């Protein structure tokens, strides 16, 4: 068994984990209300929505004149 064989086995195992278990594991972590990852994800989504709202609010005059 050489280095390429080992790399192939490791890549196959990682691919299998990603296909089979990654979604389930992420769901478990995010389902826990005390999870740091969940808090960070919620904060990121909140910040993104706030930035979108602010950007659209600033551009509202452009959209008003562009639609007419």
Domain ranges of the chain: 1-31, 35-68
With b for 16 or more beta-carbon neighbours within 10 A and e for fewer, the 27-43 pattern comes to: eeeeeeeeeeeeeeeee
| Higher-confidence position of 8 and 26 | 8
Q: Please give the average per-residue pLDDT across 30-49, as a whole number.
A: 89
For residue 1, give the DSSP letter. -
> Would the pLDDT of 62 be above 80?
no
Q: Please give the average per-residue pLDDT across 9-31, as a whole number.
A: 86
Grade residue 9 by pLDDT with cuts at 50, 70 and 90. very high
């Amino acid at each position: 068994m050489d280095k390429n064989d080992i790399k192939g086995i490791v890549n196959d195992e990682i691919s299998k984990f990603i296909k089979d278990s990654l979604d389930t594991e992420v769901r478990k972590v995010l389902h826990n209300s005390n999870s740091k990852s969940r808090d960070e994800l919620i904060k990121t989504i909140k910040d993104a929505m706030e930035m979108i709202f602010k950007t659209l609010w600033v551009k509202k005059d452009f959209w008003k004149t562009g639609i007419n």
